Amino acid sequence: MSEKKKFTIEYEIKSSPRILYTFLNEPNGLAQWFADDVSIRDQIYTFTWDDEPQKAKLVTVKENKLVRFKWVDDEPQTYFEMEILQDELTNDVALSITDFATEDLIAERRLIWDNQIEYLISVLGA
């Protein structure tokens, strides 16, 4: 089994960090762009795509700034993180995504994120 590598992608998003944050940590917000359905119980989020549930634990949270999830059944060092970055001078907001994938799947994972973030931007009306 080949080792998963960390990769980061950044997207410019025209939104306030406060509004954007609700789409990153609230099941209702996440269900609008990230997964078909999202539910939460005891800090464990269940993300469902095409009737396939996947569970992730919310391991780090900084209000209006960052969320980090760890897939329950994935390798221990892997996680996915969504961090809101705001430029102090211009106030431009960006969303930084950190995720893990094997070398041969990184390009595919990036495409998936591109699509998800496109949804997010359209949902935000940004």
pTM of the model: 0.92
Give pLDDT, residue 126: 62
Give pLDDT, residue 11: 98
Q: 10 Å Cβ neighbour count for 100?
A: 20
Query: 3-state class of 67 per DSSP?
Result: strand
| Mean pLDDT per 10-residue segment, the chain (126 residues) | 90 96 96 96 94 96 97 91 96 97 96 96 88
Give pLDDT, residue 1: 62
Q: Which CATH number describes the domain made up of 4-124? A: 3.30.530.20
Within 13-105, strands assigned E span 37-41, 44-49, 52-62, 66-71, 80-86, 93-102
9's enclosing H/E stretch is strand 4-12
117 burial (CB, 10 Å; 0-12 / 13-18 / 19+) is buried
